Chain A
Amino acid sequence: MTASLTNTAFGGGQSSPGAGDDQGSRVVLSARGLRRDFGGFIAVNNVDLDVHHAKVHALIGPNGAGKTTVFNLLTKFLQPSSGTITLLDHDITKTDPAKVARMGLVRSFQISAVFPHLTVLDNVRVALQRPGGLSTQFWLPMRALDRLNERAMELIEAVGLQDARNNLAADLSYGRKRVLEIATTLALDPKVLLLDEPMAGMGHEDVHIVSDIIREVAKDRAILMVEHNLKVVADLCDKVTVLQRGEILTSGDYRTVSQDERVRVAYMGTEHE
């Protein structure tokens, strides 16, 4: 599995190897004083967040802590009530979500987001169409998309779905849908990846597969993920931010955070050790 997860398959490798350490500390996505009200209810309040290149950053917290709202704010599916968001040195506080995606910040959804009545191949090709400049031509035959096949198959093989390439996405198992979703997301060669519970509802084997993919992908990208599986967080994430009632409780590496008394009380408690 991991053998096929080469950097080229995921379209990475643009940064020079020597610049690795420097790049590693670079902030690619940051939020300052992020706040969102729903009527009188403050779902997210005063959230500061820095996501670094080539690091996996976890956003954890109890249900209803506002994790998905933070995702929606960062990707501009929701407009923040106040605060600023910066992506790769551009202020995106007022940018629309499709533009944000084009700038390199791509998200996944909590519920698997595939195009159910398209084949696996078409799912990935749809993502490749826009960067390939093939999305508005209503006069061209479908054959025009065949030149995307090679790249699409690379991505599909990298996540191990080649045997299912002509199946409808709706017919895949849950785990494979999520894997397809990741392949589709990677087709855009994003700079920052926001994964909303990528392991939710997965069996053990699938969790391993997805962990491997994420680790591989993170070599050349920033990843922010919401995840409930703390074992995965411990294994995978360089930095953890804990959210509680819409506010940041604490932030740091997994060891520090997991030993924080407030975090144990608020969230982990007896759950982990």
Chain B
Amino acid sequence: MTDATISAAAKGRFLTLEMALILIGIALLILAPFHFYPVFLMKVLCFALFACAFNLLLGYTGILSFGHAAFFGGAAYFTAHAVKEWGLSPELGILVGVAGATVLGLIIGFFAIRRQGIYSTMITLALAQMFSFFCLQASFTHGEDGIQGVPRGHLFGFIDLNQPLNMYFFVLAVFLIGIFIIWRIINSPFGMILKSVRENENRAISLGYSVARYKLAAFVMSAALTGLAGGLKAIVFQFATLTDVSWQMSGEVVLMTLLGGIGTLVGPIFGAALVAALENYLATSEFPVTVITGIIFMVCVLVFRRGIVGELYASRFGKKLESTPEN
């Protein structure tokens, strides 16, 4: 059993190292708004949460959804409507967005998990497009205009979110809670079954797991967390538009996740930051944004297929951390 104790000790060392990295990351995020434009940072955090929620499905269950924009944009609409028309507080508005995304996730997931691989992906795309068309036609979304001028309001009735720093720390808190939930799901007995489904679906069935139920549960969880990101975004930017439900948005989250590293917890965060930063800085330059991100995406896929963080884990540094709870 000496082996076991040694590996436990190594694991303990790793946990402290991981802890240190996490604390440094959180410290940086707390200091960041004093150096960077808070709205940009909030955008990054919203998309990072979106990408992590998406990765829960792609990286840990092996289902590629091309319809996550429906949950992201849908939640943005629901939250915006609830806050602006019903006068709900921002935190309740976001919960309305999460609830809406959960219901959408149940519907789309119910059909998508019936097939595998590309067929499942196409079902998510088709249903998301239907939802996108619904958003174009429905009266509460105001068509091409979207829902504009959503009030940020007061969090819990007394924290004024119109103050940029208040808003930022609220977003940061929601982001950290969201990431914690995802981390917990991945590193749970349930997460273990998801991984086994990803690894070998037929084998999981032959061990007696009703795989469809686990897939649907993962799909709904991913949709709900995506809704959290979408609702948050509606409060931050104070609008909800068709952009967020369009298929390009679904594509963008795939891009972010692949760039950062599928099946790693923090990869999508870096992927989202990279894409958002590129869009931000290239927007004012002469270069066309989509061409540049396209080239970067190609280079990434060709040169480091595991994504930025995935390559890091596979490197010598990462090898030392072999027993990471993420794998």
Contact = CB atoms under 8 A, between A and B. Distances in A.
A142 B207 contact: no
Contact of A118 (B195, B208, B210): B195
Given A75-B206, A98-B208, A106-B207, A129 B189 contact: yes
Contacts of B210: 96, 98-99
Nearest to B203: A113
B199 interface: yes
Nearest to B191: A138
Interface in A185-200: 188
A1 interface: no
Contacts of A138: 184-185, 188-191, 217, 221
Contacts, number: 102
Interface in B190-222: 190-193, 195-196, 199-200, 202-211, 217, 221
Interface string A126-149: 110110001111111110110000
B196 to A, nearest CB: 5
Contacts of A141: 184, 187-188
B162 interface: no
Contacts of A114: 200, 203
Contacts of B7: 166
Chain B CB count within 10 A is highest, among A101, A108, A188, for A101
Contacts of B205: 77, 97-98, 101
A12 B101 CA distance: 47
A118 B200 CA distance: 11
A144 B323 CA distance: 17
Nearest to A97: B205
A137 B327 contact: no
B325 interface: yes
A136 B191 CA distance: 8
Contacts of B327: 117
B192 A117 contact: no
A134 B203 CA distance: 18
Contact of A130 (B187, B188, B208, B221): B208
A52 to B, nearest CB: 22
Contacts of B200: 113-116
A5 B16 CA distance: 40
B203 A115 contact: yes
A142 B203 contact: no
B257 to A, nearest CB: 18
A121 to B, nearest CB: 10
A45 interface: no
Contacts of A113: 200, 202-203, 206
Given A126-B192, A142-B188, A145-B192, A77 B202 contact: yes
A115 B189 contact: no
Interface string B291-327: 0000000000000000000000000000000010101
B12 to A, nearest CB: 13
Given A109-B202, A117-B327, A142-B325, A125 B192 contact: yes
B193 A129 contact: yes
Chain B CB count within 10 A is highest, among A116, A139, A145, for A139
Contact of A126 (B184, B207, B211): B207
Nearest to A123: B196
Contact of A142 (B189, B206, B221): B189
A186 B177 CA distance: 40
Given A109-B202, A117-B199, A135-B193, A101 B207 contact: yes
Contacts of A135: 189-190, 193, 209
Given A98-B208, A138-B184, 15 more contacts: A97-B206, A98-B211, A113-B200, A114-B200, A126-B192, A129-B192, A130-B207, A130-B208, A136-B193, A137-B188, A138-B188, A138-B217, A140-B188, A144-B189, A188-B207
Interface of A: 75, 77, 96-99, 101-102, 106-109, 113-118, 122, 125-127, 129-130, 134-142, 144-145, 166, 184, 188
Q: Closest 10 interchain pairs by CB?
A: A101-B208, A138-B190, A115-B199, A113-B203, A102-B208, A134-B189, A98-B210, A126-B196, A138-B185, A137-B189
Interface of B: 7, 184-185, 187-193, 195-196, 199-200, 202-211, 217, 221, 323, 325, 327
29 contacts: A75-B206, A99-B208, A106-B207, A107-B206, A109-B203, A113-B202, A115-B195, A115-B199, A115-B200, A117-B195, A118-B196, A118-B199, A125-B192, A126-B192, A126-B204, A130-B208, A134-B189, A138-B188, A138-B189, A138-B217, A139-B188, A142-B187, A142-B188, A142-B191, A142-B192, A142-B325, A166-B7, A188-B207, A188-B208
